[in-house]
Amino acid sequence: MTPAQRMQQRLESLQTHLKQENPVLVAVVDRYKKLDAISHKIGLLTPGESYATRISWWPLISILGTFSAGKSSFINSYLGHKLQNTGNQAVDDRFTVISYSSDEVSRTLPGIALDGDPRFPFYQISEQIELVTEGEGSKIDNYLQMKVVPSEALRGKILIDSPGFDADEQRKSTLKLTDHIIDLSDLVLVFFDARHPEPGAMQDTLEHLVKGAQRRNDSSKFLFILNQVDTSAKEDNLEAIVASWHKALVQCGLSTGRFYVMFNTDIAVPVEDEGVWKRYLSKREVDYAEITQRMEAINVERVYRIIGNLESLSNQVEQQAVPQLQVARARWRKRVLLLDAVVMGAFALGIGAIAWTTGWLPQWLSNPMLLVSDWFSLGLLAAFVALLVFIHFGLRRWAAKGIAKSLSQEETYGDLSNAFMKSTRAMTSIFRTNPVGWSGRVSGKLSGIRNDVDQFVQRLNDNFSSPSGKNKS
């Protein structure tokens, strides 16, 4: 089975699932397929790739942070099950995907359960790990595990618990996986241990998480949580703790963002001052309610996100990828013509000088018909022209590779470098303005996809709003 056939099978399986879970999204997958076809022709995607597999079609919440930040305690509290081990040391050094189980038994499954199932966010992630760290792709169970639990809080969503960053020895691969789940997630809970407001050894972790959030256009999905703040109740300095962490994050480049405070009421020890303790409990309850409300709302947000991503990608292809390819082709064209003039001109002058000194050129100039009648001379001329053509295409290729190195290979809309190389193939004229696969007709297809997106959004809005004030029938 070819990569393209495997991808087609995967998308069909996705649509089969969505027919039961959310029929509106079945048609959205078809529009993703149309966008894939356009990007395949341009070269932004390879035949085995699809934009539809770069997002999560299931509501996905990732929980990040350093070890001892209280991630596991929060998960156990939210699920109502003691699923994750807790402690002050690194108790779990793998990413754990937590999913709903319809029976009454909680189970732990190996990493292959995720790597080999296209319905989950880590499908074929072992290949990406291998690219980051050679030899680690085969050790998928060292990085991933899956747990299923009969918790109603999980119905319709997936949680991902990350290992503590400062506890993981294979940091490079861990951060690669972290970036992957952040890209896929509808909501990202970032936990910090409020007992240690100084960044210290966690500086690189803070920079990776915070600056990553700052660069993103969906930064609103990040919730920053100061956990275990009950330890500050005795000194009654909650505001100071929050201010200290806010300062640490500002130093890492994040000047905005809401902080939530949290602690585990089951193990917290109340302080003697009942007024202070009630204030801490009240703040905790308000913030916990807001966090869980956001977690419950992702079922709706997820559908808007998937549809919005389709429109965003179509805009990026037309407004970013194509113009960049057009500019790159213009640079390439000028470079090739200049190289042709210099290299081929010098070569032609050299051959001409040799032909002149040997007497061939004067004979041809005095009697042009001699060139036609002399088969040797005619063959020599043909060989000379063929050589010039060979040099021209060699220069084309060399110039294209040089420009391709300056183009990105990991844009959200695809591989710009690969698309450029496809647009400079031997059979493509250097005087062509548009990249291969792009035309007014293709632009019209993208407009059609965006029009369909508007229709999808309107259908969704009809489920939740009624601007006319009329009741839904």
For helices 171-184 and 125-132, angle between their N-to-C axes, nearest 10 degrees: 140
Q: What is the pLDDT of residues 43-100, one digit of tens each?
A: 999 988 999 887 778 788 989 877 677 788 888 888 888 776 665 444 456 788 888 8
Give, as one character, the DSSP assignment of residue 470. Answer: P
pLDDT value, residue 234:
76
Distances (CA, A) of 269 to 15, 192, 228, 426: 50, 20, 11, 74
Contact between 434 and 324 (Cβ < 8 Å): no
pLDDT value, residue 267:
75
User: In degrees to the nearest 10, what's the CA dihedral of 440, 441, 445, 448?
Assistant: 80
pLDDT value, residue 378:
58
Each residue of 104-129: b (16+ CB within 10 Å) or e?
Answer: eebeeeebebbbeeeebbbeebbeeb
Q: Which residue ranges of the chain lie beneath pLDDT 70?
A: 67, 84-93, 115-142, 164-173, 196-219, 249, 252-257, 351-381, 464-473
CA distance between the termini of the chain: 48
